[in-house]
Amino acid sequence: MVGGVWGGQRLIESRGASAWKWLAVVLIVGSAIAGLLIPVPRLPIVNESVRNLFFHVPMWFGMIMVMLVSIVYSMQYLRRPSARLDILAHEAAKTGILLGVLGLATGSLWARYTWGAWWTPDPRLNAAAVALLIYGAYLVLRGSFRDDQQRARVSAIYNIFAFAAAIPLLFILPRISGNSLHPGQTGNPGFNKYDLDSTMRPVFYAAVIGWILFSFWLTQVSSRLTLLQHQHDDQ
């Protein structure tokens, strides 16, 4: 996991590499097209909506990875304060929040066609919403400080706290509750049945890699723009 974080950090900071960007495009576009066309298992409840698996879940993977990169930058900032590290942590967190919102949107769409409602009191849905609200407070917190160094330091500390709170909310508490409409609980077929399908597996894994690379790419672009703006303001 640590190696993956530092690998993601190098991707975000890289200036000359472009092959991985093309790979991200190919994987996302290819998995999206294949996800709509390949045959899928006729499972109860989910039926054809299982195709959303190629979009909804990979977005969450991208969110988690880029937020993990964000807290690495925050920890580096607390060790060696610099405006650059603060900007990188902030932009990575914003990318993670964007992917989280997209994940909630695709999850809500999935719920509409499987559970009959855009939103239900499902523990996973509510926990994901709370996690995003915690990260939303991170953005509000940054805007409440006028002093750059104080804003960066408090934001770095809160960013670490937000990630530490999001992981139990997304992966632990919903499993403990047990009462969920999500696959694997309350009579719904489990995710392993989708994952073990030989047709869906390569498409799903391609989508996961593609969305993770896209999250690094988006963070790289936004970070460069913000750094350029920061340099312009200092001149």
pLDDT tens column, 116-134:
788 877 778 888 899 999 9
For 49-56, what is the mean pLDDT?
85
Q: How much is the pLDDT for 215?
A: 96
CB burial string 98-117: b at 16+ within 10 A, e below? bbbebbbebbeebbeebbee
Nearest to 203 by CA among 39, 78, 76: 39
Whether 157 has a pLDDT exceeding 90, the answer reads: yes
Q: Within a domain: residue 7?
A: no
Question: In 3-state terms, the chain is what percent helix, strand and coil (to 5)?
Answer: 80, 0, 20
Residue 9 lies in a domain: no
Q: Which two tokens stand for residue 80?
A: 């060696």
CA dihedral 72, 23, 212, 1 (to 10 degrees): -60
Specify if 2 maps to a domain: no
Mean pLDDT, rounded, for 103-128 = 83
> Is residue 195 over pLDDT 70?
no
112 inside domain: yes
Question: What is the CATH classification number for the domain harbouring 123?
Answer: 1.20.120
Does residue 3 carry a pLDDT above 50? no
Predicted structure pTM score: 0.84
Q: How confident is the model at residue 53 (pLDDT cuts 50, 70, 90)?
A: confident
Which region among 40-49, 53-62, 130-139 has the lowest average model confidence (pLDDT)? 40-49
Give the burial class of 126: count Cβ atoms within 10 A of its Cβ; 0-12 exposed, 13-18 middle, 19 or more buried. middle
In a domain, 227, yes or no: yes
User: What gap in Å lies between CA 196 and CA 129, rounded to an integer?
Assistant: 29
Proportion of the chain above pLDDT 70, given as a percent: 80
The DSSP string of the chain is -HHHHHHHHHHHH-SS--HHHHHHHHHHHHHHHHHHHS-----TTTGGGGGGHHHHHHHHHHHHHHHHHHHHHHHHHHHS--HHHHHHHHHHHHHHHHHHHHHHHHHHHHHHHHTSSS----HHHHHHHHHHHHHHHHHHHHHT--SHHHHHHHHHHHHHHHHHHHHIIIIIHHHHH----STTSTTPPPHHHHHT-TTHHHHHHHHHHHHHHHHHHHHHHHHHHHHHHHHHHH-
- 198 — pLDDT class (breaks 50, 70, 90): confident
- How many independent structural domains does the chain possess? 1
pLDDT at 194 over 60: no
At residue 122, what are phi and psi to the nearest 5 degrees? -80, 135
Nearest to 91 by CA among 232, 214, 218: 218
Q: Which domain holds residue 156?
A: 20-234
What pLDDT shows up at residue 179? Answer: 59
10 in a structural domain: no
Q: Identify which of 57-66, 101-110, 193-202 has the greatest average pLDDT.
A: 57-66
- pLDDT for the residue 193: 52
